[in-house]
Amino acid sequence: MSYRWKRLAVGSLLGAVALWPLAHHAAVRLWHLDPWRFFGWAMYAAPTPYIELHFVERVEGQFRVLQLPQELRAQAAAYANARVRWGELYPPHALARAIARHRPQADGLAIVVRRYVLDRATSRFRYEDRQYSYRLAGGDAIPIPTVGPPQAPG
């Protein structure tokens, strides 16, 4: 490779390093990516993300809180770990399908991802919920668009 091409390559790399943190910040704002990861130079700029998962199922028209069976807890924990990093870029569809296979009696499911945010106005933590709704049929979970503010079904 000639010097000219090497110079171009170095310049392009530095350009990417210069611009990427701005895109990173936008992704953190839009999709709640983990600000501490992905080379955005935002470590120590914001608290590390915390989330909780909550599950509601519908059986014969009745909504009830679902306590995950033991065999699904590891998968849910793995999802929570990945969700913290990838934010809304990683919806819980695979976890919903796994629940559908274990709960053949249920015909509806909601997974609520509760994200804790340090509120700058009050300096206290509050939470924001993002709900994913599914119709369960034949061991599959079909996503249903959730309209309006998140709320537990029923």
Partner 1 sequence: MLELTGTDAPGIAASKFVTFRRLLLAAIAVELWELLPYWADKPHFGLQRLLVWAATAAAVAVWWERLARPALAAVLAMLAVDFARAFPLNANHQYLELILVGLLLLPRPGDARERTLVLGAFRWLVVLGLFHAGLQKLLHGYYFGGEFLAYAIARNEAFAALFRWILPAGEIARLEGLQVAAGAGPFRVESWLFVAISNATWVGELALPPLLLWTKTRPPAIPLTILYIFAIEAGAREIFFGSMMVQLVLLYCRSDMNRRLLPVFLALLAYVLAMAVGWLPKWYFS
Nearest one of 13, 43, 39, 75 to 83, comparing CA atoms: 75
Q: Is residue 54 a contact residue for partner 1 (CB under 8 A)?
A: no
Q: Is residue 127 a contact residue for partner 1 (CB under 8 A)?
A: yes
Q: Is 138 left (phi over 0), alpha (psi -120 to 50) or beta?
A: left
Nearest one of 150, 37, 42 to 89, comparing CA atoms: 37
For the beta sheet containing 140-144, the strands, ordered from the edge strand earlier in sequence to the opposite edge, are: 62-65, 50-59, 108-118, 125-137, 140-144
Nearer to partner 1, 20 or 63 (CB): 20
Q: How many residues bind partner 1 (CB under 8 A)?
A: 39
Q: Is residue 13 a contact residue for partner 1 (CB under 8 A)?
A: yes
Nearer to partner 1, 78 or 137 (CB): 78
- Whole-angstrom distance, CA of residue 140 vs CA of residue 109: 11
Nearer to partner 1, 39 or 137 (CB): 39
Instruction: Name the minimum Å distance from CB 154 to partner 1.
Output: 22
Q: Is residue 11 a contact residue for partner 1 (CB under 8 A)?
A: yes
Binding site for partner 1 (CB under 8 A): 3, 6-7, 9-11, 13-14, 17-18, 21, 25, 34-48, 50, 85-86, 116, 118, 120, 122-127
